[in-house]
């Protein structure tokens, strides 16, 4: 019913006449007849179209079957943060939403400049020299980083035990594709086992992919790990939550060669897992190995500052089978959103958000720790805004009880429950959570 | 215009969050970063105006004609955005229990069922985030399938020289060797070259049909048979699907797997480069290799995720670009099967109409009807006047439209590729043809002027060589600026 075809019947007749055919179907004469029949039967058997009004009603009904929780204490790769209204409005601007990749710089300066600003913000947060215009998400950023670090004689990717499981699985899938080896380095007490790391490193190792704070929330001793990895001639890829970067030692300060992660916490809604934002930044020496689009500053003939897609000799449309990656479409609008978020929050706002996450999470951990059986699984490890507690009853029971109160509790994981608190989690939400957990085990 | 960093005023604040009532927890100084990140310090109105000014320097589909070949820049219905911003989609955590996300999973299943019917496939995943990501998954399916058959010796992927650049790049990423085969003069597959290329080392073929010249390859059934007979699999690059909905299904053409660019054919916006979504459909025999967390309808009528038996693993976190899939579902629901067929017919009608309007001065690179797009060569004009495809493209910007795709496909010299899409009316096409023809006339009268185009934009042609030679990839703070 809704078809978005502006030409009238009369106009279409004129057009057909100009082409010299009597129907649009004639334009398909190269397509074998039996293919045409099967395809027409298939569309004929699909549901009929409906008006915009009815379509929206159908989708609203579907959305109504999903539970929107009043409070979320679950992270594990997707974080419940406040999104400033101005950020949502900026991200909905029509020209940003509907434009293509900025291949025509003269009419795309707005997008190119936002990406340049995003790249700069990314460098500031990560302490790196250069970043790309985004990849699909944090998990594919890890896979792309592994490819970036591989050298002729160094092929093995080491995966830290605290790496988000989705990221680890994605790296493995990409390795399966590339016919390249990987190995896991286990954790010990919630953080990377340094002895195991040392024995895994040899002159065939290209990089270690480490996450800090790791999947279990624990802050790793990144400088020490960087020292060990570099001593073996390998590179360190560090995945880090961008909110944590506002407060904690940046990947650059910690000795990482490549910084990656998911930018979802920077103003991007939960959206049942996507679209999110994969970010990648690196030291100067590795810039030409970065995959994907990169925006650079230049000038026009009159010397006016402007921005263009640059270093394109790395990319698939030029290098074809020799490209560093096949990526072309990325997450540009999400990168724009993240840049707008960081600009609206500013350095002070970002640090306040990070500090509130830290304080709320520690408050929650302390309060849970007062309940018998809910002590920290890794009591000696420093954490940011996620942590694992033990759970003396099946974790499902805790989850169910919290759901009844409109609270999405922590994620059941091996050994207990992985909790998260952000700046959105108020003391009264924490009180309600604690009361419910107490009731479950009473 | 100023960068956000240049608008920054020390101490200025935008969004504020309330102070937490939680006690301040101990935090070891050794864990802290040395100095705060130098982010812009702006008030809300500064942010708002900054991006409004930036938006004015962007040309989107809603600003005018956008015939960017191969990209399907159709209108993005406004209601798609409303659907994707429904709280029940936008505020759902990906790891909340499946029983609290039934509508979200049902939306994925419904979209999958509609698209499988449309393309003639049995199963589909939305895990890939974009077309290239979908291609990668498609070839991983091929690889996993061949391994399960004990045919790991099949290491070569055949790609025609007219293919999108992603095809060979993808084949490399999936660990295959690329065999490029030359096209026949009309861009269709040279059957003799294909027969000569296949053999016991053939893993498969990657093909788009209609091809990048906008020609439907009428030998398609023979092509897929040659590959299958040699023991290979056939992968369909769905970038050009907008030409053939309701007219031909990749599954019926003999393809085993296909990706669809939801941001092209199914009207989800391009976002200045992304996010898109790359659904991958396959025949039943490949479904056991699909990525984990396949959305399924369970026997009891509820919805959930299932891990296929011999899955290639994970393509990314969670379930793909979910909110993009919601937009596509909204579009599919509005159009219905008949509407999709009509959309493709009109895409083909519009492309042929524009082709005919230009024909006398600028004949298409191939004779006969085109599908949803067509390619012209400005080689003759360049030899005669020195005016290049680039000059014409830049001049079209001054004519008020977005240029067509330049210099692609590679097999046509000085190529311009027009894809008007079905969502443009006749008068838009008439005006575009007038603009192109006017520029061709000027090229002959005053070629020098065209080298200077565009003249109406905030900047002229940037120095791209300089940008690559001395890369400046971030803003450098000066002493005075903080």
The ipTM value here is 0.98
Same domain for A353 and A326 = no
Domain stops at, among A339, A369, A393:
A339
User: Distance between CA atoms of B137 and B320, rounded to whole angstroms?
Assistant: 12
Same domain for A48 and A120 = no
* Residue B273 near residue A136 (C-beta atoms within 8 A): no
User: Distance between CA atoms of A14 and A32, rounded to whole angstroms?
Assistant: 27
* Residue B458 near residue A299 (C-beta atoms within 8 A): no
Query: Quick check: A275 and B32 CB within 8 A?
Result: no
Q: Is the CB of residue B367 less than 8 Å away from at least one CB of chain A?
A: no
Domain-embedded: residue A274:
yes
Sequence-distant (≥ 6) Cβ neighbours of residue B111 within 8 angstroms: B126, B279, B325, B328, B329, B332
For residue B134, pLDDT over 80 is answered with yes
Sequence-distant (≥ 6) Cβ neighbours of residue A143 within 8 angstroms: A167, A170, A171, A173, A174, A175
Element spanning A280, H or E: strand A278-282
Same domain for A383 and A304 = no
Domain-embedded: residue A1:
no
* Residue B213 near residue B187 (C-beta atoms within 8 A): yes
Closest-CA residue of B relative to A50 is B334
Burial of A394 (0-12, 13-18, 19+ CB in 10 A): exposed
User: Distance between CA atoms of B469 and B465, rounded to whole angstroms?
Assistant: 6
Same domain for A199 and A89 = yes
Give start and end residues of each alpha helix (H) in A179-221: 194-200
Q: Is the CB of residue A142 less than 8 Å away from at least one CB of chain B?
A: no
The DSSP bridge pattern shows strands B123-125 and B278-282 to be antiparallel
The full set of domains in chain B, from first to last, is 79-334 (3.40.640.10)
User: Distance between CA atoms of B335 and B341, rounded to whole angstroms?
Assistant: 9
User: Distance between CA atoms of A306 and A304, rounded to whole angstroms?
Assistant: 6
pLDDT at res. A315: 77
Q: Is the CB of residue B10 less than 8 Å away from at least one CB of chain A?
A: no
Same domain for A185 and A323 = yes
Query: Quick check: B165 and A55 CB within 8 A?
Result: no
What is the domain range of residue A251?
85-339
Q: Is the CB of residue A86 less than 8 Å away from at least one CB of chain B?
A: yes
Chain B, residues 237-276, CB within 8 A of chain A, namely: 244-249, 252-253, 261, 263, 267, 269-276
Give start and end residues of each alpha helix (H) in B310-388: 322-358, 379-385
User: Distance between CA atoms of B69 and A126, rounded to whole angstroms?
Assistant: 37
| The length of chain A, given as a count of residues | 442
Q: Is the CB of residue B106 less than 8 Å away from at least one CB of chain A?
A: yes
pLDDT at res. B98: 97
For residue B482, pLDDT over 50 is answered with no
| Token pair 């994605």 in the structure block, residue | A170
pLDDT at res. A2: 59
For B120-135, what is the mean pLDDT? 98
| Token pair 């994925």 in the structure block, residue | B108
For B3-11, what is the mean pLDDT? 97
| Token pair 């334009």 in the structure block, residue | A27
Domain stops at, among A305, A339, A373:
A339
Q: CA triplet A18, A19, A20: central angle to 5 degrees?
A: 90
Q: Is the dihedral of CA A77, A83, A88, A91 positive or negative?
A: negative
pLDDT at res. B479: 59
| The length of chain B, given as a count of residues | 482
- Provide the mean pLDDT of chain B: 96
pLDDT at res. A425: 98
Same domain for A200 and A106 = yes
User: Distance between CA atoms of B247 and B346, rounded to whole angstroms?
Assistant: 12
For residue B464, pLDDT over 50 is answered with yes
| Token pair 């050009």 in the structure block, residue | B240
Q: Is the CB of residue A310 less than 8 Å away from at least one CB of chain B?
A: yes
Query: Which among B1, B74, B118 is the nearest to A42, CB-wise?
Result: B118
Give start and end residues of each alpha helix (H) in A127-250: 138-149, 165-178, 194-200, 222-231, 242-245
Cα-Cα end-to-end distance for chain B: 19
Query: Which among A1, A172, A326 is the nearest to B334, CB-wise?
Result: A1
* Residue B24 near residue A429 (C-beta atoms within 8 A): no
For residue B445, pLDDT over 70 is answered with yes
Same domain for A100 and A77 = no
Cα dihedral angle (B232, B234, B237, B242), rounded to 10 degrees?
170
Same domain for A212 and A250 = yes
Domain-embedded: residue A106:
yes
For B323-348, what is the mean pLDDT? 98
Query: Which among B58, B75, B271 is the nearest to A4, CB-wise?
Result: B75
Query: Quick check: A1 and B472 CB within 8 A?
Result: no
Query: Which among B24, B322, B403 is the nearest to A271, CB-wise?
Result: B322
For residue B481, pLDDT over 70 is answered with no
Q: CA triplet B69, B75, B78: central angle to 5 degrees?
A: 155
| Token pair 């790196």 in the structure block, residue | A128
In DSSP terms, A295 is beta-bridged to: A309
* Residue A349 near residue B13 (C-beta atoms within 8 A): yes
Q: Render each residue's pLDDT in chain A as its tens digit; 442 residues.
A: 557 999 999 999 999 999 999 999 999 999 999 999 999 999 999 999 999 999 999 999 999 999 999 999 999 999 999 999 999 999 999 999 999 999 999 999 999 999 999 999 999 999 999 999 999 999 999 999 999 999 999 999 999 999 999 999 999 999 999 999 999 999 999 999 999 999 999 999 999 999 999 999 999 999 999 999 999 999 999 999 999 999 999 999 999 999 999 999 999 999 999 999 999 999 999 999 999 999 999 999 999 999 999 998 877 777 777 777 899 999 999 999 999 999 999 999 999 999 999 999 999 999 999 999 999 999 999 999 999 999 999 999 999 999 999 999 999 999 999 999 999 999 999 999 999 999 999 8
Percent of chain B with pLDDT strictly greater than 70: 99
Phi, psi of A230 (to 5 degrees): -70, -35
pLDDT at res. A321: 78
Domain count, chain A: 3
The CATH number that applies at residue A168 is: 3.40.640.10
pLDDT at res. A109: 98
Q: Is the CB of residue A7 less than 8 Å away from at least one CB of chain B?
A: yes
pTM for the model stands at 0.97
Q: What is the 3-state secondary structure (H, E, C) of A325-391?
A: CCCCCCCHHHHHHHHHHHHHHHHHHHHHHHHHHHHHHHHHHHHHHCCCCCCECCCCCCECCEEEECC
Same domain for A90 and A55 = no
CA dist list (Å): A332 to A81, A84, A132, A383, B271: 20, 19, 10, 31, 6
Tell me the three state secondary structure of residue B208.
coil
Domain-embedded: residue A219:
yes
Query: Which among B66, B102, B247 is the nearest to A66, CB-wise?
Result: B102
Same domain for A89 and A77 = no
Using an 8 Å CB-CB cutoff, list chain A residues near B132.
Answer: 316, 326-329
The CATH number that applies at residue A424 is: 3.90.1150.10
Query: Which among A63, A299, A302 is the nearest to B103, CB-wise?
Result: A63
Same domain for A425 and A288 = no
pLDDT at res. A87: 98
For B50-73, what is the mean pLDDT? 97
Using an 8 Å CB-CB cutoff, list chain B residues near A323.
Answer: 165, 169, 172
Domain-embedded: residue A4:
no
Chosen for mutation from B95, B159, B250 (greatest number of chain A CBs closer than 10 Å) is B95
State the DSSP code for B476. Answer: P
How many CB pairs below 8 A link A and B?
706
Sequence-distant (≥ 6) Cβ neighbours of residue B78 within 8 angstroms: none
Tell me the three state secondary structure of residue A92.
coil
Same domain for A142 and A89 = yes
Domain stops at, among A339, A360, A380:
A339
């Amino acid at each position: 019913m809704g078809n978005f075809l502006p030409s009238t019947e009369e106009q279409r007749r004129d057009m057909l006449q100009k082409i010299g055919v009597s129907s649009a179907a004639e334009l398909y004469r190269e397509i074998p007849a039996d293919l045409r029949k099967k395809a027409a039967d298939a569309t004929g058997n699909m549901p009929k179209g409906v008006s915009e009004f009815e379509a929206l009603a159908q989708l609203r009904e579907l959305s109504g079957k999903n539970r929107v929780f009043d409070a979320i204490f679950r992270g594990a790769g997707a974080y419940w943060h406040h999104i400033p209204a101005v950020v949502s409005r900026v991200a909905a601007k029509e020209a940003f939403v509907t434009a293509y990749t900025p291949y025509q710089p003269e009419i795309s300066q707005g997008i190119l400049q936002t990406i340049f600003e995003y790249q700069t913000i990314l460098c500031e947060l990560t302490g790196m020299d250069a970043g790309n215009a985004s990849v699909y998400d944090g998990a594919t950023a890890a896979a792309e980083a592994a490819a970036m670090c591989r050298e002729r004689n160094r092929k093995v990717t080491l995966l830290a035990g605290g790496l988000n499981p989705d990221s680890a699985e994605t790296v493995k899938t990409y390795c399966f594709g590339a016919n390249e080896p990987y190995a896991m380095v286990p954790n010990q007490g919630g953080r990377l086992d340094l002895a195991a790391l040392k024995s895994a490193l040899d002159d065939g190792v290209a990089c270690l992919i480490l996450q800090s704070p790791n999947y279990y929330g624990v802050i790793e001793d990144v400088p020490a790990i960087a020292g060990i990895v570099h001593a073996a001639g390998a590179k360190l890829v560090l995945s880090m939550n961008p909110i944590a970067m506002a407060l904690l030692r940046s990947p650059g300060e910690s000795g990482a060669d490549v910084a990656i992660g998911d930018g979802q916490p920077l103003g991007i809604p939960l959206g049942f897992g996507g679209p999110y934002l994969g970010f990648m930044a690196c030291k100067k020496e590795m810039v030409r190995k970065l995959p994907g689009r990169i925006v650079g500053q230049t000038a026009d003939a009159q010397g006016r500052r402007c921005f263009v897609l640059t270093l394109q000799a790395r990319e698939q449309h030029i290098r074809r089978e020799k490209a560093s990656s096949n990526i072309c479409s990325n997450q540009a609008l999400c990168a724009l959103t993240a840049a707008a978020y960081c600009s609206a929050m500013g350095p002070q706002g970002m640090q306040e958000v990070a500090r509130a996450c830290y304080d709320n999470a520690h408050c929650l951990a302390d309060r849970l720790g007062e309940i018998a059986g809910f002590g920290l699984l890794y009591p000696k490890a420093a954490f940011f805004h996620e942590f694992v507690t033990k759970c003396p009853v099946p974790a499902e029971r805790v989850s169910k009880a919290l759901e009844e109160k409109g609270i999405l509790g922590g994620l059941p994981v091996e050994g207990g429950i992985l909790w998260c608190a952000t700046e959105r989690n108020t003391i009264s939400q924490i009180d309600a959570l604690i009361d419910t957990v107490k009731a479950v085990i009473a | 215009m100023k960068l956000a960093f240049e608008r920054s005023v020390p101490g200025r604040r935008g969004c504020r969050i309330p102070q937490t009532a939680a006690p301040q927890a101990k935090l070891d100084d050794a864990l802290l970063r040395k100095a705060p990140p130098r982010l812009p310090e702006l008030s809300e109105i500064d942010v708002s105006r900054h991006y409004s000014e930036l938006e004015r320097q962007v040309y989107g589909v809603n600003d005018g004609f956008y015939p960017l070949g191969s990209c399907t820049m159709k209108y993005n219905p406004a209601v798609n955005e409303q659907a994707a911003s429904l709280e029940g989609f936008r505020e759902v955590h990906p790891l909340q229990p499946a029983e609290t996300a039934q509508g979200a999973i049902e939306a994925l299943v419904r979209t999958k069922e509609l698209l499988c019917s449309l393309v003639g496939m049995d199963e589909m995943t939305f895990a890939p985030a974009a077309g290239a990501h979908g291609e990668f998954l498609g070839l991983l399916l091929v690889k996993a399938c061949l391994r399960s058959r004990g045919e790991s010796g099949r290491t070569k992927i055949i790609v025609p020289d007219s293919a999108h650049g992603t095809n060979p790049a993808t084949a490399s990423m999936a660990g295959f060797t690329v065999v490029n085969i030359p096209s026949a003069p009309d861009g269709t597959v040279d059957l003799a070259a294909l027969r000569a290329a296949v053999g016991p080392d053939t893993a498969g073929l990657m093909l788009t049909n209609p091809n990048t010249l906008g020609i439907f390859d009428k030998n398609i059934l023979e092509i897929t048979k040659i590959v299958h007979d040699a023991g290979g699999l056939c992968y369909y690059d769905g970038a050009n699907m907008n030409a053939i909905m309701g007219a031909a299904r990749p599954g019926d053409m003999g393809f085993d797997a296909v990706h669809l660019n939801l941001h092209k054919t199914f009207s989800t916006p391009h976002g200045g480069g992304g996010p898109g979504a790359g659904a991958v459909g396959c025949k039943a025999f490949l479904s056991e290799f699909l990525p984990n967390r396949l959305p399924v309808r369970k026997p009891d009528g509820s919805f959930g995720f299932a891990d296929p038996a011999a899955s290639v693993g994970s393509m990314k976190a969670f379930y793909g670009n979910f909110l993009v899939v919601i937009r596509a579902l909204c579009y599919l629901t509005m159009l219905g099967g008949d509407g999709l067929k009509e959309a493709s017919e009109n895409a083909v009608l519009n492309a042929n109409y524009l082709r005919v309007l230009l024909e006398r001065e600028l004949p298409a690179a191939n004779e006969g009807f085109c599908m949803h797009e067509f390619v012209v060569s400005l080689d003759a004009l360049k030899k005669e006047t020195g005016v290049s495809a680039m000059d014409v493209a830049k001049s079209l910007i001054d004519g008020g439209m977005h240029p067509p795709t330049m210099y692609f496909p590679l097999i046509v010299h000085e190529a311009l590729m027009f894809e008007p899409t079905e969502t443009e009316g006749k008068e838009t096409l008439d005006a575009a043809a007038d603009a192109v023809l006017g520029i061709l006339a000027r090229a002959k009268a005053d070629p020098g002027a065209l080298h200077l185009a565009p003249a109406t934009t905030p900047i002229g042609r940037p120095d791209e060589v300089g940008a690559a030679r001395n890369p400046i990839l971030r803003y450098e703070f000066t002493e005075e600026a903080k």
